[in-house]
Structure 1
Amino acid sequence: MTRIVQGRRRTVAAIAALLVAVLASASCGAQIGEGGRFGVVYMDAQGYYAGVRKGMQDEAERMGRNVQLLELNAQGDASKESSFIDTVSSADVDALVLSPVSETASIPAIRLAHRSEVPVICYNTCIADEAAQEYVDAFILGDPLEFGGLLGDAAADYFIAEGIEAPQIGIVNCEQVEVCVQRRLGFEEALFAKLPDAEIVANQQGAEVDEAVDVAERILTAHPDLDAFFGQAGGATLGSIRAVQARGKVGQTVVFGGDMSTEAANALVDHRVLKGNVDISGVEVGRMAAETAQRVLAGEELEEFILPAPVEIYTTPEDGQAWLEAHPDGLP
């Protein structure tokens, strides 16, 4: 127990030292952060969150504001997230923008920010509905049911074209967060509407790429005749693609997944394994987050709590090439 307490104290101290350094550097240049200081939490290190960061910076620049971002990659750790939120709330940031790591474990920290009069904006994920309505000002969300439904439709159309009436499908999931559960429900509803004899033979967690490779390989071992994977997010999708390639299943097992990246776009251009990918642009979500934060800070009353982010599907090699050309920096 002593070691745990000491570890938490070191985490808090490290975050506090980082913020002191950032704020000290701001005092040396009067322009830094004059357009606002935002505490920003990224759930993990996947490329989507780099896109969110760029989107926030681009939107602030477009508005002519020099916004300072105090940032944390929570790495899926609710205690690390909590320590950071505690520190930035005490530092009087103008807003907290975050993708919470847990519907429940993230509630106390977000409650603290709210009680410290820090506006809270969720994106991608949020806390449980009742708590969100009380402590969160806005939630930027690409409809997860639509996300899954677009992939389910694309998968069904592919199997029908291939003459496969009862495909076996393995899911590599990120269902530790509710949006991924909703993605699965949307996928299943669309798939079974067209192919009622389709079967989900496995559904296992593998949110990070390395973990997803191991999970997908285990599923392939248990189900050697698997027709497809559904990767619920970026890491799950890329891990599934790599597992298919490593196990020599190219030409037999295909992948339908989520979250575009340079690797995913190249796989779509190749088109032997990845047949469809749905994306909610991190850059667009970041842009919306910065815009929403400024509206809240200006005292504007938002008409809706949930602000819909666009959901797009890519299914052809041409789609993949177009994405690569539109995203030369690789940020989704």
Structure 2
Amino acid sequence: MAKHMLQSAGKLLCKAARAGAGFGAVVVVSTLYTHAAIAADKPTVAYIAPAIDYPYWQWVAYGVKQRAAELGMNYVELSSDNSPAKQMDNIHTALTRGATAIVMGPVSSSSTPPVLRLLKSKSIPVAFTGIGPQTGETDYTSAVTANNYDTGKLEASYVCKLAKDRGGNKVAMLSLPQDRENAQKYLKGANEAFKKDGCDLVQILEAHDLSVNEAVTEANDILTANPDVKAIYAMFDNAGIGAAKALQTRGLVGKVGVVAADGSPSTIKLVRDGVIQGVFVQGAMGQGIDATTQVFNALNHKPTTQVLSFTEVLVTGDTVDRPDVQAAVKRVYPPSVGKY
């Protein structure tokens, strides 16, 4: 876009000079040309979300945009609407709009190979957030994610403890789509922990649209089919909110434990109110900041780190106000979104 501005301003300047325009007009056009030239010299980071209507990806966007401004980068934002085809179109659109670096949450890990091939051919650095590339892919600058395997184990152990505290060992899971490498790692860690800790994972339901309504339906299905379930492992934020709503409707708050992941003002409030027992927070906003730093470093031939993974911090009613826990929560979403 800046290049087009530069070309247009240059044409106007030449036209003004040929037409014998007055000094004032030439100064105005010349100023436009100067501003366009400055913009053209600035690197541009394009943030491509799998679906920008989901709050998590909005908070990543906030982090990318904030860090881009600090680093003197232009910012472009695009949403793939959970479509691999649109994701690829967005890559082409970003390049057309002058993107010199990409930060993206992919629609799925399996959708990343053609993206990486194209960006490699253009020498464009790319950093992933939240969801990493397909296993075996190496042609990327950085993947800034949670340590999903370790977090999966920790969350499962806590879920198992909640179940046993409630007199049973039957647990269930509301899962992210399993075509995402983060979901696969969560599940791998969870299965290992459930086996080690002596809990029986009786049902897994996989999300499709990741909505609260979908999670309410799936949680109700689980509770109807498995009345002896004593705790629910919610792999993402809306799953935790949906499970909480189902328990509230059934009068089962406290009788069935719930642990969520990712974090939001809604789940933090549910923890404070005792409706759910914990949430493992993932720094969405912080991932946007870190990923933008990585691609900026790549553009400037500075060191980069290809794998940046962080173990999610457990927030409970007893720990939510601890300074270290508050610091973790404040990397999740901006203060304008809600209380911590």
TM-score, scaled to structure 1: 0.81
- Aligned positions of 1:167-182 closer than 5 A: 167-174=169-176, 175-182=178-185
Tell me the distance in 2 between the aligned counterparts of 1:208 and 1:249.
Answer: 21
Tell me the distance in 1 between the aligned counterparts of 2:313 and 2:254.
Answer: 26
Residues 132-190 of structure 1: CA deviation (Å, up to 9, x unaligned) = 21x31221122101211221222233344x263x4221111112312112112212322
Tell me the distance in 1 between the aligned counterparts of 2:45 and 2:245.
Answer: 37
Aligned to 2:147: 143
Aligned to 2:45: 38
1:50 to 58, 61, 66: 58
Distance 1:156 1:310, change over 3 A: closer
**How many Å apart are 1:35 and its aligned residue?**
4.2
Aligned to 2:231: 228
- Aligned positions of 1:109-128 closer than 5 A: 109-128=115-134
State the SS of the aligned residue for 1:106. Answer: helix
Tell me the distance in 1 between the aligned counterparts of 2:215 and 2:4.
Answer: 38
Contact 1:278 1:311 in 2 (8 A): yes
Percent identity (aligned): 20
Tell me the distance in 2 between the aligned counterparts of 1:312 and 1:33.
Answer: 41
Aligned to 1:13: none
TM-align CA RMSD: 2.9
Contact 1:143 1:309 in 2 (8 A): yes
TM-score, scaled to structure 2: 0.79
2:157 to 128, 132, 153: 153
2:68 to 46, 54, 60: 60
What is the identity, as a one-letter code, of the residue corresponding to 2:45? F
Distance 1:35 1:282, change over 3 A: farther
**How many Å apart are 1:24 and its aligned residue?**
5.6
Residue 98 (str. 1) matches residue 141 (str. 2): no
**How many Å apart are 1:270 and its aligned residue?**
0.8
Distance 1:234 1:294, change over 3 A: same
Tell me the distance in 2 between the aligned counterparts of 1:251 and 1:32.
Answer: 56
- Aligned positions of 1:1-332 closer than 5 A: 30=36, 35-44=42-51, 45-62=53-70, 65-130=71-136, 132-133=137-138, 135-160=139-164, 162=165, 164=167, 166-174=168-176, 175-194=178-197, 196=198, 198-206=199-207, 207-271=210-274, 273-302=275-304, 304-316=305-317, 318-319=319-320, 323=326, 326=330, 328-330=335-337
Tell me the distance in 2 between the aligned counterparts of 1:159 and 1:33.
Answer: 58
Distance 1:237 1:22, change over 3 A: farther
Tell me the distance in 1 between the aligned counterparts of 2:96 and 2:181.
Answer: 29
State the SS of the aligned residue for 1:105. Answer: helix
Structure 1 unmatched ranges of 5 or more: 1-19
Contact 1:232 1:257 in 2 (8 A): yes
Structure (1 or 2) with the larger CA radius of gyration: 2
Contact 1:268 1:320 in 2 (8 A): no
Tell me the distance in 2 between the aligned counterparts of 1:258 and 1:241.
Answer: 13
**How many Å apart are 1:33 and its aligned residue?**
7.6
Contact 2:230 2:256 in 1 (8 A): yes
What is the identity, as a one-letter code, of the residue corresponding to 1:75? D
Structure 2 unmatched ranges of 5 or more: 10-31
State the SS of the aligned residue for 2:223. Answer: helix
State the SS of the aligned residue for 2:268. Answer: helix
